[in-house]
Amino acid sequence: MISLSASDRSASSDKPGFSVGGAFALGNRKDDKTRRKAEKAAHVEHSYVDNSYRTDLAVSVQHLSITYRTTFERVPTFKNAIVRAGRGERALVEVKALKDVSIDVPNGTALGIIGANGAGKSTIMRTIAGILPPTDGRVEVWGRASTLLALGVGFNAQLSGRENVILGGLASGLSRQEVNERAEEVAEWAELGDYIDAPMRTYSSGMFSRLAFSVAVHMKPDILMIDEALSAGDAAFREKANAKMEELRSSARAMFLVSHGLSSIKDMCNDCIWLHKGQVMMHDSPEACIDAYTQFVKVGKTPRTMDEM
């Protein structure tokens, strides 16, 4: 089991800022003390469940919060430039991507994650995958995750498809022998023919998606995580991908699928969460979440919205 928890605040996380409402905050250094006092007063000590004995879970997320902080140089006015005598003023942008999210994912679950752009879908996937550390909260993962968070990430366009398959397998923690054993299987499933030995810069987006998906699903993961990876595929590819994910669902601990194609969520998942501005609005069956979501955004469930929302 891999466990990630928010550590004590570092110096970098104590950079100045002052919340002005909503998901964003702007501030400067003179507001530093005010912000820290407000955060300390508002901080809630969460109690966490001990899952060390659990064998029925694939992922446990408890009180997860993720806050992005970055700085930028304000554009000074003439008056401010004179007052500051040329000193630079850096402002802090604070984005609260996830807010106190808690969810347990049992073995055998195919979890769909839906929501508008900026809802926090990709953020929660990256945190579960171990790419992003929690700002607050705890994430526990049982087993090895294979991530397909964006098409072509980690691929070298100058290398051939076969060479990228080998690199992808090694990056997933497989040995050279294991990668070589699965390379042919990956190439055959992707149906690229002789293009498997051509540079990937010559690939179309559909060929990219086939190879990227094939690498992810043939690494025999305990947990498969897919973020918007099926949108570039044609109908035949989606049908084949659906069958492969159904096969994986019976052998892997869990599958996570982020997609604006609500029909894909409905067809491939048996559980679903709806995120909105970093918060879980609903955790229910795919049908119930899709109904609530489409009503919330005030659109009908037409074939176009079911495929592209």
User: Could you report the per-residue pLDDT of 42-79, keeping only the tens digit for each?
Assistant: 556 788 888 888 889 999 999 999 998 876 655 556 66
Identify whether residues 152 and 83 lie together within a single domain.
no
| 170 and 66 within one domain | no
| pLDDT band of 8, cuts 50, 70, 90 | very low
User: 150 and 94 share a domain?
Assistant: no
In 3D, which of 24, 44, 2 has the Cα closest to residue 95?
24
Q: In terms of residue numbers, what domain contains 20? A: 2-105
Cβ–Cβ < 8 Å for 38, 21: no
Look at residues 40, 75, 105 and tell me which one is the last residue of a structural domain. Answer: 105
pLDDT of residue 215: 81
Same domain assignment for residues 173 and 81: no
Residue 127 domain-assigned (yes or no)? no
Residue from 44, 56, 46 nearest 5 by CA = 46
* Pair (168, 237) in one structural domain: yes
Same domain (yes/no): 101, 10: yes
Residue 24: its pLDDT value, please? 42
Whether residue 218 is found in the same domain as residue 302: yes
Q: Would the pLDDT of 27 be above 70?
A: no
Q: Is residue 122 part of a domain?
A: no
| Residue 164 and residue 96 share a domain | no
The amino acid at 185: E
Q: Which residue has the higher pLDDT, 205 or 150?
A: 205
Q: 172 lies in a domain? A: yes
**Confidence band of 21 (pLDDT split at 50, 70, 90):** very low
- With a pLDDT cut of 70, the percent of the chain lying above it is 73
Rounded to whole angstroms, how far apart are CA atoms 250 and 217?
A: 13
Task: Domain count for the chain, please give it.
Answer: 2
Whole-angstrom distance, CA of residue 208 vs CA of residue 258: 19
Identify whether residues 304 and 159 lie together within a single domain: yes
Mean pLDDT of the chain: 78
With CA atoms as reference, report the closest residue to 210 among 227, 188, 225: 188
Q: Given this model, what pLDDT does residue 271 score?
A: 96
Q: Is residue 243 part of a domain?
A: yes
Clarify whether residues 283 and 150 are in a common domain: yes
The answer on pLDDT for 249 being more than 90 is no
For residues 96 and 213, state if they share a domain.
no
Give the chain's end-to-end CA distance (angstroms, integer): 35
Which of 154 and 296 is assigned the larger pLDDT?
Answer: 296
Task: State the pLDDT at residue 105.
Answer: 95
- Per-residue pLDDT of 203-225, as tens digits, reads 987 888 788 888 877 877 788 88
**Predicted pLDDT of residue 29:** 46
